Each structure stands twice: as structure tokens, then as C-alpha cells.
Structure 1
């Protein structure tokens, strides 16, 4: 009788051990299966930090523990480029890091200049970015620069005066915001060497943050042509320009989903303009809904897994 009870107890222990191990494996596999595809900024900690979210927008992890923003995914999703501020915010520099926040590396070191808006080439070998500063006469100078992904061979694309550079899907051209004057800018496209500049929008307004769709056929951007910043889309040649959002508050930073069927963008919510929310909508502007609270400057990783 005692032997039988001991055997039953032993079997129960073995079963509970197996059940616990199986549960752990399922949890572990579930954790490992998470694929973070959206990078965004948030001031939840009081500083601008970079977070990552999965495609549902409901799960996020913080990727950095230092000030940094405007994250851009490498094509393979393993790294991010971003900017961070130094010298009491007088110097902004481009950095890269692994997508989990490790292996942080500072790539640019130009003092008293603002380097921002990095974007990777489709093959992951190059990074373009915007540089802005005041010259010795107090004039604002917006420039576009390009470098290798490790920070080497940095040089200005001298004919391009503007900001927000973004590679086309074939990596042969750059879409950017061309500065017309202090009050106006236009979405434009040019060769990598700065040749063949073509202006795509022609409005007396500020138009920023162009992003090319994954199939290379369209550009999403923000413009205040109708009074406040709204999200627009057009063909890669500038034709068929269409307004997607209609609200009384500003909407910023559109980014395409990997399949090109949706866009995410940021908007101010509440009385505090720095408290922003990320929204999602179909590419035709339909079915707009809240996606990630307390987030801004979101970018969707264009690869799938």
C-alpha cells in the first residue's frame, strides 16, 4: 500500500514537472515569436525615448535608456538609426544601435549642428540624413548628407537644400523636402548625386516628411496647404495628389505598412501639444483609429516575418 502511494506521488510530481516545463516552453516560444515592426518616440519617462511595438500596436518595449528620437529601421530590422542631442541640445548627432537598444554607436559629431531624419538605403549600406544650422551671418542652412552605414565617408549632397531625405525603393534616388524659402517647402526627388532635381508639389506651404510606399509607386507626406498639417498621398511622379486626413489639429509623420495597405501617423491630443498619439488608417484615408497612445514619429519596418 505504501509502495503504491509512493508510486502515485512520484507520477504526480513527474506530471507537474512536465506541465510546468511545457507551459514555460509555450511562454518562451510566444515571447520569442514577437516581431517588433514599429519604432516610435515617447516622453513617458520625461525624456524622448525610442520604443518598439508589434503590428497590433498593443505591446511595446523601450529600446534605449538615453535621449534619442526619430528612429529609422534598417531594411533587415536588426538595427535602427536615430538622433540624440548633446551640448544642452545645441548639437544633434546621428547614431545606430541594435533593435534591442544594444551596440549604440555615434556616427556624426558636427558641433552646433542639428543632424536628424536618418534613412537607410534599401541594401542597408548607406544612410542619408538632414543637417541644419545657422551660418556666421545668422542664416539658416538646411543640408542633406549621405554616409556609409558605419559612419564613414560622410559628405554633403551639395545641390540639395532641404530636409527629410528618403530613399526610393530601388535606392537610385532620394525624395526630400526642398526648401523654397523660410515659409515654403516642396516635396521633390533627385538622383543620389544631387542631379535631376524635380519638384513634385507646387503650393505656397510647408510640406515635409515624404515616405515612399513599399512598391515604389506612391509618396505619403504632410502639408499645411489647407491651413493645418494633414496627411496627403500622391504618385511617385507627383500626380494624383490626395488629402487623406481632415481634422482641426495637426497630423504628422506618415509611414506605410509593409504591404502598403495602411498608414500610421501622429497627432497632438489634449491640451499638451507634446502629448501625441499614433493613429492608423487605410491608404485611402478610411477607418482612422487610435493605434498607440503617447507616441510620435512612428516608422513601420517594411520587411515582413
Structure 2
């Protein structure tokens, strides 16, 4: 072998060696990735606590012993946002904490207001949340607010009247427009509250908790349009609405898998509540966690 060929061969093997190291490192990183990680709440200890675990319901880790719920992952998976209750449950406040339960911070402190249903913007810089309360005359006010992820600059999006706000991948907000105590509709708007579009049109139906697929093309939500709460899915423009579950119990709070192929949801009876997983077409329903609810899938895209 001449010198040039030897040098070329040596460079080739060095490159192969380095590629192997990189590939090995990537495989190792993926094995540690919370791609199949979910967060959920449970009352196993008597209090509502936040847990995290995998899709099989194994290796669960309790993240907090506080009375918290409605968990939302930050885009990088390093933090949760959630609400916790104070003043004998009269005041609900939004919090964040690290996903291991450390560095817990209270972000909102509006007395006698129910701050709930937080969700992070795609860049992790903002948190949108619902605020509900009765005024001095007993009139119920469902509002949507937005703030920086550190709790600063809390601002009401005044044109949006509703609950359960959720960011789309392109930075818009899907929410449940509250008309009265008997009816609501899934709607979508710009982050400043402009260009509101109503997506569902079912009179006297309650339609809540929209969750947008990772590719931004579909919305899963819960509705009692057919008599009791079931899980439905539709395209982002409101077309192709389809019922996925058919149960005599309350099915609620759907959350998409990271690849958009599955949904987890919460099923509740008078005696217990469980978390199920199914394909996005409603097939192959399987219970994965007993005595759990309010599940959210970490969408590690």
C-alpha cells in the first residue's frame, strides 16, 4: 500500500470510529430521553400529588406532596406547570417546579380566584392559563390570562372568555369558549386574542380540554354532546369531527403521544379513576395506570 492510500485508509477508519462514537452517544441519549414519559395526578396518599412514569405505568416517581393538579410539561421537559389550592380551596394558584419536584415556585396569587389549566408556549417563554371566579353579584367570570414563565407580566387576554387554553405549535391558542353554564365550544385565536374562530357548533354541549397534535393538524377534546363526556378528535380547522370513545363513564383530558399516533385520557366513575391509552383512531384501548388522572404526555419532538 502506498503512502497516499495508507493515509486515506487511516482517515476512513478514523471517521468510521468517530461516527460509531457519535451514534453510540445518540443512542444512549435517546435511551435516557423521556419520549414515553407522562405526568399525572393521584390520590394514593390521600392528597392530590403529581407523579411521572412511563407509558406502561411503571417506574413512577412522585414529584411533589403538595395539593396540585393539571400538569403541563415545559417544552424541554425540565419543568412542570400546575395549579395548587389555598385558603380552604377558595384560591387556586399556578406554580412551576423542576420535573424532579425541586425548585417549586408560586407564580399567581390572586385571592379568591381559580387559576388553573396552565400551558407553555412552544418556546417556553410564556404560560397561558384560565382564571375563573364569581363577582360580588354572583356572576361567574371565565377568563384567559398569559404571563412570562417566571410569573411576570400577568395580562388578561380580554377578548377570550373561556377555559382550558392550549398552545398550538405555531403559537396560537386553542381554548374552550364558555357561553354559559350549559354550553361551550372549542375555539382558536391568535395569542393577542384576535381572529377568533369557533370550531365546534353543538348547542347545549360542554366541550373542554383541547389538546393539539404535535404536527399541529388535529385537536383532541372532550364533549358531552352525545349524553356523557367522551373523547373526540377533529382537524385543526374543525372539520372531520370523530368520536373515539364509547363508554358509560366520564372520559376526559386527552393528551397526544409525541409522535401523534396515540392518545392517553382519564376515565372516571363514582368509585375510581384510571388512565387509558388508545390509538388515535380510537382502537386498542388499554388501561395503563389505576387511581390516576389528569395525565399529560411529554411531547419530546
Query: Shared topology, TM-score over 0.5?
Result: yes
Other structure's SS at 2:287 match: strand
Task: Tell me by how many angstroms 1:210 deviates.
Answer: 0.2
Alpha-carbon distance in structure 2 between the residues aligned to 1:221 and 1:59: 28
Report matched runs for 1:147-186 at 5 Å: 147-171=147-171, 173-186=172-185
Alpha-carbon distance in structure 1 between the residues aligned to 2:163 and 2:104: 24
Listed one character per residue, the Cα deviations across residues 192-217 of structure 1 (whole Å, up to 9, x for unaligned) are 11111110000020000000000000
Other structure's SS at 2:299 match: coil
Task: Tell me by how many angstroms 1:66 deviates.
Answer: 1.3
What is aligned with 1:293? 290
Alpha-carbon distance in structure 2 between the residues aligned to 1:125 and 1:261: 27
Q: Does 1:192 align with 2:191?
A: yes
Aligned residues: 270
Q: Does 1:282 align with 2:282?
A: no
Larger Rg: 1
Alpha-carbon distance in structure 2 between the residues aligned to 1:34 and 1:216: 22
What is the TM-score with the length of structure 2 in the denominator? 0.88
Q: Which runs of 5+ in 2 are unaligned?
A: 1-27
CA RMSD of aligned residues (A): 1.3
Name segments (4+ residues, structure 1) moved above 6 Å: none
Q: Which runs of 5+ in 1 are unaligned?
A: 1-28
What is aligned with 2:109? 109
Other structure's SS at 2:248 match: coil
Alpha-carbon distance in structure 1 between the residues aligned to 2:71 and 2:239: 29
8 Å contact 1:34–1:54 — kept in the other structure? Answer: no
Alpha-carbon distance in structure 2 between the residues aligned to 1:257 and 1:57: 15
What is aligned with 1:220? 220
Task: Tell me by how many angstroms 1:55 deviates.
Answer: 3.0
Task: Tell me by how many angstroms 1:291 deviates.
Answer: 1.0
What is the TM-score with the length of structure 1 in the denominator? 0.86
Report matched runs for 1:1-305 at 5 Å: 33=32, 35=34, 37-171=37-171, 173-204=172-203, 205-269=205-269, 271-272=270-271, 275-303=272-300
Task: Tell me by how many angstroms 1:33 deviates.
Answer: 3.8
| Stretch moving more, 50-59 or 81-90 | 50-59
